Amino acid sequence: MQAEAVPAGSTSDVTPDVSPVVSVVIPAHNAAVTLGRTLESLLRQTLSEWEAVVVDDGSTDETWGEIELWMARDQRIRGIRLHRNMQAPAASNYALAAARGTWIAVVDADDWIVPTRLEHLVAHAEATCCDVVADNQILYDAQAAAAVGTVLSVDRAPHRLSLRQFLARSITGVSRFDHGMLKPLVRRAFLEQAGIRYEPGCMHGYDFHFMLDLLAAGARALVVHEPLYVYVQPYGSLSRRLSHEGRISYRYDVMQRYTDASIEHYQTTLDCGALRHLRRRSRAIARFAAYLEFKAALAEGALSRALAAFGRNPACVHPAVASLMMHLGVVKRTFPLPREWSEVQQPEFLRS
């Protein structure tokens, strides 16, 4: 989809003369507490030819003031202020429309990136002539201030990712790592040529649909198993607490609705195998949502509500069993963090 006109708001006035290699898109809503860490990680990049386009998505805290401080500190940082909350996908589209880099990287306002990330991903992309490069992620429990592990094994060499492989590895609650959560580096010329943008109303699962549209449009994709992106878990697997008060629960009904819409949209263009995986994803989302409803009802002692949730989707027992197996340590979702990456436990810029 094409981005709409920016609603009444403000943008930074400084536009550097030299086009950057990478435009880093950062949608930010009530992110005053975490945004500084994200931007600090950009200042520490070994590739210096970047710009950051930070969109204040109708925040009610001091997010815009934080953005202004960082714009004054470094002219590579540009800001866009939206006067109403439009959700991360739409906010990202405003940043995409303003981006000038050869490559686009999207970073969430509560995550951060390893110093070599931009340099390494651009090098991989240019060496392989790929349009999309995605990397391994380090899961971080903010309340425990500790890295949990990586989402992919670090031992595997970079490899191509086809549309069918992507879909097969994006089965919510089933895939060891849902590849719909990848944070790719994307060639901007491909985005413009294909006319791809984030789906504005898809406030949960929008990264999946962005990757789906890229691959369905013929993008050549590469996955690098080097862990370069630090993803802050919404709910810490070590601390068993929310990362911060601003985090909200996933809307699985929205995820399923947009997945079903994708099935209909691509009905005549994707092959049978790809469509089969899309349908599997839709069923898995419904199953996982029913499991969470069942689990919450049991925790509240509402047995009748728990039985009703089970009755609506008896298959919710599958994620329940998977959760139990993980709790017992029989099944693991993450891979051990290599010793040389232990600095993410307590990055220097978090101590300063």
pLDDT digits (tens, 9 = 90+) for 156-215: 999 999 999 999 999 988 888 999 999 999 999 999 999 999 999 898 899 999 999 999
What local confidence, expressed as pLDDT, does residue 5 receive? Answer: 37
Say how far apart CA 77 and CA 74 lie, in whole Å. Answer: 6
Residue 352: Cβ within 10 Å count: 6
- How is the chain split into domains, by residue range? 6-110, 114-288
In which band, very low, low, confident or very high, does the pLDDT at 263 lie, cut at 50, 70 and 90? Answer: very high
Two structure tokens written together for 80: 């866009």
> Is the pLDDT assigned to residue 221 strictly greater than 70?
yes
Using the CB atoms, write b or e for 43-81: b if 16+ within 10 Å. Answer: bebebebbbbbbbbbbbeeebbebbbebbeeeebbbbbb
> Is the pLDDT assigned to residue 351 strictly greater than 70?
no
CATH superfamily of 6-110: Spore Coat Polysaccharide Biosynthesis Protein SpsA; Chain A (3.90.550.10)
- Tell me the average pLDDT across 257-279: 96
Q: What is the pTM of this model?
A: 0.88
What is the Rg, in whole angstroms, of the alpha carbon atoms belonging to the chain? 20
Q: Which of residues 9 and 227 earns the better pLDDT score? A: 227
Indicate the average pLDDT of the chain: 87
- Tell me the average pLDDT across 263-287: 95
User: What pLDDT digit, counting tens, does each position of 52-71 carry?
Assistant: 999 999 999 999 999 999 99
